[in-house]
Amino acid sequence: MELIPFSLWGDALWCGQEVVREAPHEQAIRSLFPDPIPARGADLDTEADLVPESHNRFDPRSVAVRVQGRVVGYLPRDDAHRYHPVLSELVAQGLQPRVPCHLWVSEWEPADWEHKGNQGTEFHASVAVALGQPHMLVPVNLPPPGSYHLLPPGSGIVVPGSEVHPDVLAPFFRVEGECWAYATMHAIEEEDGIQDRHRIVVEVRLDDDPVGRLSPRLSAEFLPAIHYLADMRAETAARVAVRGDRSASEVILYAARSHDLPATWPDGLTRSPVASPQWHYWATKEAN
């Protein structure tokens, strides 16, 4: 079965998760770089697939890290055991977990090469991936039905929503205190309280339930993208973090503003998969 690439959401902002390697992987890493390697070294920012190796006879909970189909190392044993369950479940759903990856290499001729077995050069490499906590790798709800486009990540914005009833957010509360979720952003008209005038602001919804509205100033930074997608008959989706419990909670929006979108945006619309029982179980099991 061919797996569909799935970029893990996570809460890691940089490649800080160490990837351990052994000598056999050095050749695979070396093949990703030009020859010769510059004297100052070279680095590569790319993506890596995380592959749980349930059939590994040495450790059935190991997780291989592959770049361009090549194994460049493994997650450290203790980390692999923490991540293996959620990664295996994604693979079982037909999804290939994928994360940002940073590689750095250097190569030099040691001064005492005659004492190095006449190998001629020394090679050093380091590999790291951006990997959040296990409970933050996937959203806890399904994506919007129909056609939608997920905005690229952006800096966090607390969504004002003091009027939200706790029952609206209750399905998203987790014992860890936080989770990721799909939200949708909608342009709505509201009164501004001055001479019965109206203004357009952005309303944020979770599973079609309103959880708050952005200020007019912030709304103006997202409305061009929302209007553009609406003209394409598609919804605007975004990542949100839900934090807290029934006593105190907040929704934080992580979405790029319209002026920060890349020139190639949007690079295609996504249609939600049919929610099979297995997919539904994966998206909602933590709530039960």
Domains, the chain, ranges and CATH? 4-129 (3.30.70), 148-254 (no CATH)
Backbone torsion region of residue 179, taken as left when φ is above 0, otherwise alpha when ψ lies between -120 and 50, otherwise beta: beta
Phi, psi values for residue 88, rounded to 5°: -65, -35
Question: How confident is residue 22, by pLDDT bands cut at 50, 70 and 90?
Answer: confident
- Residue 123: the pLDDT is 85
Taking only Cα atoms into account, the Rg of the chain, rounded to an integer number of angstroms, comes to: 23
pTM comes to: 0.80
**217: helix, coil or strand?**
helix
**Residue 243: helix, strand or coil by DSSP?**
strand
The predicted pLDDT at position 75 comes to: 97
Highest mean pLDDT, choosing among 15-29, 53-67, 269-283: 53-67
Q: What is the predicted pLDDT for the residue at 269?
A: 60
Across 57-66, 80-89, 260-269, least confident range: 260-269
Q: Are β-strands 270-271 and 178-191 bridged in parallel, bridged antiparallel, or unpaired?
A: unpaired
